[in-house]
Amino acid sequence: MQRKKRVLVTGSSGQLGTTLQKLVQPIDKSIEFEFANSKDLDITNLEAVTEFLNKYSFDYCVNCAAYTQVDKAEEDSERALLINQQGAQNLAKACHAYNIVLIHISTDFVFDGTKNTPYLETDRPRPMGIYGHSKFKGEQEVVRNMERYFIIRTSWLYSAYGHNFFKSMLKYGMERDQLSVVFDQVGTPTSAHDLSEVILKIISEEIDAYGIYHFSNEGVASWYDFAAAIFEINHIEVDLRPIRSKDYPTPAERPSYSVLDKSKIKHVLHLRIRHWRRSLAEVSKFME
């Protein structure tokens, strides 16, 4: 009888970790999942990480743990680097020691947004703020410390769980008559459900084409477009107005263009990726 694959998911209380938990409940019983939040496993503590991974015979580790508060990171850089860089380094070292495949989630914020065509995995990262810088440093630690890894950069992640733009817009749309959203930052919304399915595909099919990949839903949108679609699909009446980024200053500067090229992951995994509006409509059903 073949041994079950064992998978550790860190950051299980975040939106991606929660989505993975909801998704794996009915799937193939040949895979066992261990979901760990920050209280169960502190990834910033190498001794704790090594002990945890040594205790269980994991085949995969999906690192969903991250410091994701983009603006707060500007004044809390030490904490952001501790989680996003040191945490990634600790997991990479321990996974390498115990021959565990690491699936590490990264971000479009590793790029500066000055390009006007979709970003390739081979494009040089130039993060603009502390959050992007800490995530890029985390990527470097993974590459430096192991060989069997998948780094998946994604963009504008949202779900029915946790804190994200989608849920914020639903809340504000119900509370306010008028909203202003920037229209000069362009990227692609990504459903955490769709990203979770990609992660599970890598694990269930035992894909071994290791390296860096980009994944988002198909299509392109501004934050204004994304908000407008959220209100339209969820039948919320609100006076939505487009504004420029300079009229809505934030502590952290955002890339003005962060569309990701997904050719590589589509070819390697034989994927057909859904348009962001279709995925948004499906996620919205969970909120009804």
The catalytic residues are 131
- In the three-class reduction of DSSP (H, G, I as helix; E, B as strand; rest coil), residue 267 is classed as helix
| Residues in contact with 270: Cβ distance below 8 Å, sequence separation at least 6, in sequence order | none
Q: What is the 3-state secondary structure (H, E, C) of 66-84?
A: CCCCCCHHHCCHHHHHHHH
For residues 182 and 240, give the distance between their C-alpha atoms in angstroms, rounded to a whole number: 10
Segment holding 158, helix H or strand E: strand 157-158
CA pseudo-torsion sign 286, 223, 215, 73: negative
Which residue in 64, 19, 10 sits closest to 166, CA to CA? 19
Measure Cα distances from 121 to 107, 124, 150, 168, 245 in Å.
Answer: 12, 8, 12, 30, 27
For residues 272 and 106, give the distance between their C-alpha atoms in angstroms, rounded to a whole number: 21
One-letter amino acid for residue 14 of the chain: G
